Structure 1
């Protein structure tokens, strides 16, 4: 299934991620189901109970380790996807830059407006102070 806009390498990468996800989740589920079966203790074998118990315990440890490995693989997959998105999601990066640029221009305009208003207020106050000083009887 070919998507016109998606480059072939990107499509293959997405298929690889999907396959890895399915494989890891399947491995976790299958190993968990087998551990539950072992915990039920329904196996009919010719081994002694002690030997069977040791074998079941060992198999549970191996299956638990398999679940951990599948979980670590999923974490690595998430990390790879995040890294891929960070490095290759140029439209989002450009959009974020544009939004920040607009935000900073707006802030700059607000600051300029406030500075102009402050300048005007200070000029008016200075004019009033100068007039008061020059018309004062305390001027020497």
Structure 2
């Protein structure tokens, strides 16, 4: 899939994939266990209140595990964004090239408008000079 990538990029992509799979798996497993605990089907020899306390504590731990996995996923997204920003040279170069072309086009348009304006002003100045020098009011 990514055969043309250097070895370190390949390893980085594998680590990102591994982190993603582990975090999603952790979230799913902990959520499933919370649902099982919420059903209250545990038949144990513990006192009912003790079992409730134990289940509540386990739910809190599993909820904390879900939050931890979610934070890990957010960190992973941040790492991927940072990697893309710092290492996506082809798209950066393409954006620079596109902006460069756009600015050259704008420069040419401005130059043409300035030349046209210069010609119009020169013609008007010529007419004004002619009018001034042929005027009886000078």
Q: Which runs of 4+ in 1 moved over 4 A?
A: none
TM-score in terms of structure 1 length: 0.92
The secondary structure found in structure 1 opposite 2:137 is coil
Superposed CA deviations along residues 95-114 of structure 1, whole A, max 9, x for unmatched, are: 11111111111111111111
Q: 2:119 aligns to what?
A: 120
The secondary structure found in structure 2 opposite 1:133 is helix
Q: Distance in 1 between matches of 2:41 and 2:77?
A: 38
TM-score in terms of structure 2 length: 0.93
Aligned length: 138
Q: 2:12 aligns to what?
A: 13
Q: 1:109 aligns to what?
A: 108
The secondary structure found in structure 1 opposite 2:135 is coil
Q: Distance in 2 between matches of 1:57 and 1:48?
A: 14
Where do 5+ consecutive residues of structure 2 fail to align? none
Q: 1:38 aligns to what?
A: 37
Superposed CA deviations along residues 54-101 of structure 1, whole A, max 9, x for unmatched, are: 111111111111111111111111111111111211111111111111
1:77 and 2:73 aligned: no
Shift in CA distance, 2/117, structure 1 to aligned 2, threshold 3 Å: closer
Root mean square deviation, CA, Å: 1.4
